[in-house]
Structure 1
Amino acid sequence: MDRMRMNRRELLQMGAAGSAVLAAGRAASEPRAGAGGTRMRLGLVSYNVARDWDLETLLKQCRAAGLTAVEFRTTHAHGVEPSLTAGLRARVRQLCADAGILQTSLGTVCEFHSPDPAVVRRNVETCREFVLLARDIGARGVKVRPNGLPAEVPPEKTIAQIGSALKECGQFAADHGVEIWVEVHGSGTAQPACMRAILDSCGHPSVGITWNSNPTDVENGSVRRAFELLGPFIRCCHVNELWSGYPYRELFGLLDASGYDRFALCEVGTPIRAEDGTPFLRCYHELFRELAGTPAEPPPAAVAAPAPQVRRAPGARMRLSLAAYSFRDYLTGKSEPRMDLPEFIDRAAAMDLDGVELTSYYFPDPVTPEHLAGLKLRCHLQGLDITGTPVRNTFTFPAGPERDREVAHVVRWIGIAADLGSPAIRIFAGDAQKGQTLEEAQRCCADSIRACLPHAARRGVILALENHGGIVAEADSLLKIVREVGSPWCGINLDTGNFHTDDPYGDIARCAPLAVTVQVKTEIQRRGGMKEQADLARIVRILRDSGYRGYVTLEYEAAENPLEAVPRHLKALRGLLSGG
């Protein structure tokens, strides 16, 4: 697999690997530490994640994941509909109370844009029925929507018609202690300016909006202009795929600055099986906390933090590991014999190794808890430590959706590494983005790493930044970023074959004191030169002189067949590490 991006299945796997915050027992209503935290809390719309869950299951899953509110969307398996008897309405209210879940709203499909007055009247009457249901079960709002502007009707006429219907529904709702929340929805009507015109036409204080996180909100990568039009009317906020590229961090900041203290409701459009609900929602909750509670830019004090120093006991102590990447063509099926990670572990055990490095590229999709447990058991029974978990990422994006996506990817693998018992994940910096200076790219990389640090520290996983081309092709830039991050949870993954400089061995020696993991290559390549055999004895001396204590992992990339070459190079390294 070339790259694991954040889709629904991957988010589920991140949740299955465990949520750092929830595992630490933090309450769902507790704001994250950060620049003021956030007063928003996360809830769930049954559309469409929980479409097929009955009421008890829905409430149980929300409680287990730390969510504190639910919007019951009509026609779903929960069965919360106007057809409920008074006794059943009381039961819904009691079940929610017992679960500690607020029944914040009812999601209807009441629409008021039709050119047929009879259709509009039926929808108004249906809305009134939902208002009474909301009153009886203790819900605060009833969500309605427009669904477009009919082509055959002047837009201003439809806008006035929708506004009039909303005003009637709003007055009925106010009489019963309920609000009407009109969803920003539909072709044309989802445009912020059109929705503002509808609200102005309505003019009733009990009518507000459900912000729907639509692409039409975004202008030049920002939702600020749409928020300026609609912000004062927001009574609820639907959030979709947090990893989608929508500027959620900006939206949450604007909501927080406006004093919004209601709910953001997860509305992901793909149904989830009930047995997968808790891990999915836990993961989603963790990503929400990251986006809603962490400042996009670090405070100046963090930038000026002192350089981390790895404080080791006197004397070097090194053990031998093998990277799964060494057998990449077998693990991806390009060469025979085909291999999976369990087979790789068994081969490594036969080579008298101390540990294995399990590269993320070769995990199945989806990564299940059962698969992780199986790998962990296999390594233990074979007498092998899991010494690291390399991942792919790009950390040079400025603050915004692309950075959020990359941070979410790394946070996901922090959780997986922690469940495996892996002490570190290897991360990349990446290339400078178009128009970026090296200094800007370095700063973006340091900021992205900082965004991952709370998760890494809570799960006990070190972030190991590799000298892997791009902005960290040379030692000075790599050292600058790690020192700027200034955390003991961030160090260097020292790849001895990746400095293509005038003095690769000198650069290895400069970086070795901050190394938390080491990958040894059998070749080096000086600037402008050809590949040559690496002086493994010299590399081991450099590591020993630096006082390195940890695993030395062979990551074989040379042309010779690895099935033949790897055992030979491991034998040489074993002799050098033992002092031979």
Structure 2
Amino acid sequence: MHDQSRRQFLSMLTAASAGALLPVAQSFAVEQEPWFRISLAQWSLHRAFQNRTANPQDFPRLARRLFDIDGVEYVNQFYSDNYSAALTRKLQQQADGEGVQSLLIMVDGEGDIGAETDAARKQTVARHQRWAEMAKELDCHSIRVNAHSHGSYDEQMKKAADGLHLLGEYCEGLGLNVLVENHGGLSSNGEWLSGVMRLADHPRVGTLPDFGNFHIDRENGLTYDRYRGVRELMPWAKAISAKSYDFDENGEAVQTDFQRMLDIVRTAGYRGWVGIEYEGNRLSEIEGIEKTLALLQRMQRGGQNRFL
């Protein structure tokens, strides 16, 4: 984060801590509820958290007071070093105080769901359990995991499905969903991940389609069509990640046609939260979130279906 952006963020953060709602997100009057609601993925502020410009434990407050957003998606890596019941209570109390709904925890770095052996897959499931328990205490509906594995196309499908089924059984007892994001490797192949969903065959196992994560092999430039991929993943979708990187002079996302993508989401019958996940570098994190929020709000106004 360059000096000007850091000063801007610190200024906004000071105002937010003082209780001021900044006019970065303009509300609008509508005759009916929009067909989706807007949440904020914590990764959108990852640079601010990583360089300690902001405290991850203030995330619900920041979402509300900086952007007037009332749904949040946590990232486990920001809490790995200080995981505790006290931390969970603090986040829950803050979210409740701000009127912010905790939706899910994105879990990374806890092993491969599609590990090679039964024992290794069970170990991965065990390592995810503390995050599932934290999600339950925060009243989240899901944890988001990765379907990483090794081997042939079919071997990876079977192993990932087995690991997800095991984790789904555990999370069923907590009233939680286990969602897989297209997040690199074969998980960014919509056809493959759809096959995993069918093999996992568990009501608690679903998908979190991401608008931008369709790089199967970055080194060799192998990608998957993002619109096809999201369409293939929608039958199991329980959350949506509206990934953004940059915007043109009209406020439209450069890499993804948001109108086309949200038409796919709406046509599939989805009525839920759509999470902002800004990952661009040209704009500051605050500016990128604001522009993604403004774009999604335009999409809300244009929608005809009600949020249920």
Same fold by TM (over 0.5)? yes
- In the other structure, the counterpart of 1:348 is 63
Unmatched tracts of structure 1, length 5 or more:
1-314, 525-530
Indicate if the aligned counterparts of 2:149 and 2:159 stay in contact, CA closer than 8 A.
no
Indicate if the aligned counterparts of 2:122 and 2:166 stay in contact, CA closer than 8 A.
no
1:425/1:348 CA distance change after superposition, 3 Å: same
Among residues 459, 472, 479, which one is paired with 2:194 in the alignment? 479
Letter of the 2:233 partner, please give it: C
1:448/1:568 CA distance change after superposition, 3 Å: same
More contact order relative to length (CA 8 Å, sep ≥ 6)? 2
1:8-87 aligned within 5 A = none
1:574/1:442 CA distance change after superposition, 3 Å: same
Q: Distance in 1 between matches of 2:224 and 2:91?
A: 41
- In the other structure, the counterpart of 2:290 is 567
| SS, match of residue 429 in structure 1 | coil
1:463/1:502 CA distance change after superposition, 3 Å: closer
| SS, match of residue 272 in structure 2 | strand
Q: Distance in 1 between matches of 2:116 and 2:235?
A: 29
1:484/1:495 CA distance change after superposition, 3 Å: same
Among residues 35, 41, 44, which one is paired with 1:326 in the alignment? 44
Letter of the 1:317 partner, please give it: W
Matched, 1:407 2:125: yes
Indicate if the aligned counterparts of 2:165 and 2:201 stay in contact, CA closer than 8 A.
no
Q: Distance in 1 between matches of 2:164 and 2:34?
A: 28
Q: Distance in 2 between matches of 1:371 and 1:444?
A: 34
Number of residue equivalences:
254
CA RMSD in angstroms, aligned pairs only: 2.1
Letter of the 1:570 partner, please give it: L
Among residues 354, 363, 374, which one is paired with 2:79 in the alignment? 363
Q: Distance in 2 between matches of 1:364 and 1:468?
A: 20
- In the other structure, the counterpart of 1:418 is 136
Q: Deviations over 1:23-71 (max 9, x none)?
A: xxxxxxxxxxxxxxxxxxxxxxxxxxxxxxxxxxxxxxxxxxxxxxxxx
Q: Deviations over 1:246-303 (max 9, x none)?
A: xxxxxxxxxxxxxxxxxxxxxxxxxxxxxxxxxxxxxxxxxxxxxxxxxxxxxxxxxx
- In the other structure, the counterpart of 1:551 is 273
Q: Distance in 1 between matches of 2:162 and 2:231?
A: 26
Q: Distance in 1 between matches of 2:224 and 2:128?
A: 32
- In the other structure, the counterpart of 1:506 is 228
Indicate if the aligned counterparts of 1:340 and 1:362 stay in contact, CA closer than 8 A.
no
| SS, match of residue 68 in structure 2 | coil
1:524-539 aligned within 5 A = 532-539=254-261
Letter of the 1:507 partner, please give it: G
| SS, match of residue 398 in structure 1 | coil
Indicate if the aligned counterparts of 2:149 and 2:160 stay in contact, CA closer than 8 A.
no
1:502/1:484 CA distance change after superposition, 3 Å: closer
Unmatched tracts of structure 2, length 5 or more:
1-32, 216-222, 247-252, 304-308
Letter of the 1:518 partner, please give it: I
TM-score, length of structure 2 as denominator length = 0.77
Q: Distance in 2 between matches of 1:577 and 1:404?
A: 42
- In the other structure, the counterpart of 2:168 is 453
1:47-446 aligned within 5 A = 317-333=35-51, 338-350=53-65, 351-392=67-108, 393-432=111-150, 436-446=151-161
Letter of the 2:263 partner, please give it: R
Cα offset, 1:445, TM superposition: 0.8
Q: Distance in 2 between matches of 1:502 and 1:486?
A: 24
Indicate if the aligned counterparts of 1:540 and 1:577 stay in contact, CA closer than 8 A.
no
Q: Deviations over 1:482-516 (max 9, x none)?
A: 11111110000111101244532122122222211
Indicate if the aligned counterparts of 1:445 and 1:481 stay in contact, CA closer than 8 A.
yes
Q: Distance in 2 between matches of 1:471 and 1:534?
A: 21
Cα offset, 1:579, TM superposition: 2.4
Q: Distance in 1 between matches of 2:227 and 2:152?
A: 27
Letter of the 1:563 partner, please give it: I
Cα offset, 1:424, TM superposition: 0.4
Q: Distance in 2 between matches of 1:354 and 1:346?
A: 10
Q: Which moved more, 1:320-329 or 1:531-540?
A: 531-540
Letter of the 2:57 partner, please give it: P
Q: Distance in 2 between matches of 1:565 and 1:366?
A: 29
Letter of the 1:505 partner, please give it: Y
Larger radius of gyration: 1
Among residues 297, 300, 304, which one is paired with 1:577 in the alignment? 300
Q: Distance in 2 between matches of 1:412 and 1:487?
A: 21
Q: Distance in 2 between matches of 1:518 and 1:489?
A: 16
TM-score, length of structure 1 as denominator length = 0.42
Identity %: 27
Q: Deviations over 1:524-573 (max 9, x none)?
A: 9xxxxxx9521112122111111112110011111121122211211211
Indicate if the aligned counterparts of 2:114 and 2:162 stay in contact, CA closer than 8 A.
no
Q: Which moved more, 1:402-411 or 1:460-469?
A: 402-411
Q: Distance in 2 between matches of 1:494 and 1:486?
A: 18
1:364/1:507 CA distance change after superposition, 3 Å: closer
